[in-house]
Structure 1
Amino acid sequence: MSLELILLLLAGAAAGGFINGLAGFGTALLSLGIWLQIMPPWQAVAIVAAMSVVSGLQSLWLIRRDLGCGIDRLHRFLLPAILGIPIGTAVLGVVSAAALKLVIASFMLLYGAFIILRRSLPQLDQPMPAIDVLVGFLGGVLGGAASLSGPLPTMWCSVQPWTKGETSAVLRPYNVGILGIAVVVFAWQGYYSHDTLVLMAITLPATLISSQIGIAVFRRLTDRQFRWLLVWLLVAAGVLLALRELV
């Protein structure tokens, strides 16, 4: 195993772990941009899913005292998402994953541009549980079709009158749950070979350390700063996603 390979593995793990600790999503968008240069797509995606779950579980433990404020909302997102995953997998057989990713990237960019140009975030005053269910379901569909379970719930949560703790108490367990199911599916399909497990052993320490750094930054942000961070991350993720598919 070359030094260049090890450095690229660590760079992808550090980038993905940090963004996961900071915002609770985005691991794949950053890590895959590096890891797809050095390994087959199936292997890169399988490692990203596993690292996302590991770093996500760590972040859940580190913010465990804040999770209670989102527990009454989480089920409205997560349970419909579980139903949406097999539908997304079936959609993947009809529509190309590349086309789905470009549609989502375009939506993310339009949403981010709209919010930024308004120079203030819109905020909903009334709870909308039916929309929560729909967003959770569609996130599951997109997760099954293109491994993009996070962006849509993140967009929806960013316009809620919630604190950063309440937002994270929904987004983090949601993404861990969806990606945990993906890991089980990948394991059943035999993706975690001996070589893949060796690569995961190299990336794990960097993922955990960078995730803790991301959590430390998250704790220093105000509620407003965190909401704006989500918007800018969605814009950046949309650009990365579009460039990856177009290039």
Structure 2
Amino acid sequence: MEVPVFALFALAALAGGFVSGFSGFAMGLVVSGVWLHIITPMQTATLIAGYGLLTQGYGIFKLRHVLDLRKAWPLSLGTVIGIPIGVSILAYLNPGYLRFGVGVLLVLYAIYGLTKPVFAPVKIGVGADIAIGVSNGLLGGLTGLGGVISTISCQWRGWPKDMQRAVFQPVLFVAFVVISSSQAVAGTITKETLTLYALGVPFMVAGLWSGFKLFGKINDETFRNTVLALLLLAGLSLVASVVQLALR
């Protein structure tokens, strides 16, 4: 890899780590916008899953004082069930229509949330949490956005920012374990990709550390708006990707 190209790769890793440290998710959204132009889609997907284990593992460690597995396990179980179902459904659905529809829904939800007061807290039971987790996994298998629904559901409950992250980050970690394991079984993790992973780790960790530093200085309302803004960005990116393909 040439020096200018590696500089772009490293800068994206730094930015992705920072966003993950600050918000707890959206690392893949940030890095893919750059990496898809300089490395292959398969390498991008493999690196996002691999770095996801790193960023979510770090987040879980940093928030271990508020970690509550009783709240996280139903969402995690549902996500594990939903991911392979979502992947299998892809063979029967037009992914373009699906991505566009999900993107529009995310945009509408984020705009509504940004223009309205904080939602009244919603109490959600274990059964409903498992169902939400299945939906979360389905969406992850269908679009690659494996933590969106679990993140939104944590917002609905009105929890403080630390507790939200202490629940949806273990869910994301489990999702990345499933994805990485599937990639390993499929044989898509190559020596070249592992080399790229090792080269990017220092930049990802530096971004992650600095993002967490800033996270510790914000209040719950700022965190809420940040999550909504990132969901808006995720929705717009899905819509834009479909429109771009349609115009080709």
TM over 0.5: yes
* Structural RMSD (CA): 1.5
Structure 1 match to 2:197: 200
In the TM superposition, 1:143-154 aligns within 5 A as 143-154=140-151
Q: Which amino acid aligns with 1:229?
A: T
Select 1:210's aligned residue among 199, 207, 211: 207
Q: Return the offset for 1:125.
A: 4.5
Quote the Cα distance in structure 2 between the aligned partners of 1:179 and 1:204. Answer: 17
Alignment partner, residue 53 of structure 2: 53
Deviations 1:49-80 (A, max 9, x none): 1011112111221222121xx32211110111
State the Cα distance separating 1:185 from its structure 2 match: 0.8
Which position in structure 2 is the counterpart of 1:178? 175
Provide the C-alpha distance between the structure 1 equivalents of 2:221 and 2:64, rounded to a whole number of angstroms: 21
* Misfit runs of 4+, over 6 Å: none
The structural deviation recorded for 1:242 is: 2.0
Q: How many residues align?
A: 244
Cα-to-partner distance string for 1:117-172 (whole Å, 9 max, x where unaligned): 32x12122534444322211111111122211111111221121211111011111
Please, which moves more after superposition, 36-45 or 221-230? 221-230
Paired residue for 2:221? 224
Asked if the contact 1:22–1:218 (Cα under 8 Å) also holds between the matched residues in 2, the reply is: yes
Equivalent residue for 1:160, pick from 154, 157, 162: 157
Paired position in structure 1 for 2:33: 33
The equivalent residue for 2:75 is 77
Residue among 99, 104, 116 paired with 1:101:
99
Q: Specify the SS of the correspondent of 1:39.
A: coil
- Specify the alignment match of 1:88 in structure 2: 86
Post-superposition offset of 1:209: 1.1
1:96, distance to aligned residue in structure 2 (A): 3.4
Determine the C-alpha separation between the residues in 1 that align with 2:23 and 2:72: 16
Q: What is the one-letter code of the residue matched to 1:83? A: I
Q: TM-score, normalised by structure 2?
A: 0.93
In structure 2, relative to structure 1, the CA distance for the partners of 1:143 and 1:126 (3 Å cut) is closer
The corresponding residue for 2:8 is 8
- Partners of 2:114 and 2:61 lie apart in 1 by 33
CA distances 1:181-223 after superposition (whole Å, capped 9, x unpaired)? 1011111111111111111111111111101111111111112
Contact 1:87 1:141 in 2 (8 A): yes
Structure-2 separation of matches of 1:158 and 1:213: 24
Gaps of 5+ in 1: none
Q: Could you tell me which amino acid in structure 1 is paired with residue 184 of structure 2?
A: A
CA distance in 2 between partners of 1:190 and 1:198 (Å): 16
Structure 1 counterpart of 2:91, which letter?
G
Equivalent residue, structure 1, for 2:129: 132
CA contact (8 A) 2:103 2:236 kept: yes
Alignment identity in percent?
25
Per-residue deviation at 1:29? 1.0
Matching residue's letter, 2:203: A
Could you tell me which runs of 5 or more consecutive residues in structure 2 were left unpaired when the two chains were aligned. none
Partner residue of 2:115? 117
What is the rounded CA distance, in whole Å, between the counterparts of 1:51 and 1:203 in structure 2? 9
- In the TM superposition, residue 245 of structure 1 has moved relative to its aligned partner by 3.1
Question: Normalising by the residue count of structure 1, what TM-score does the alignment of the two structures yield?
Answer: 0.93
Match of 1:21 in 2: 21
Q: Distance in 2 between matches of 1:58 and 1:116?
A: 29
Q: Does 1:44 align with 2:59?
A: no
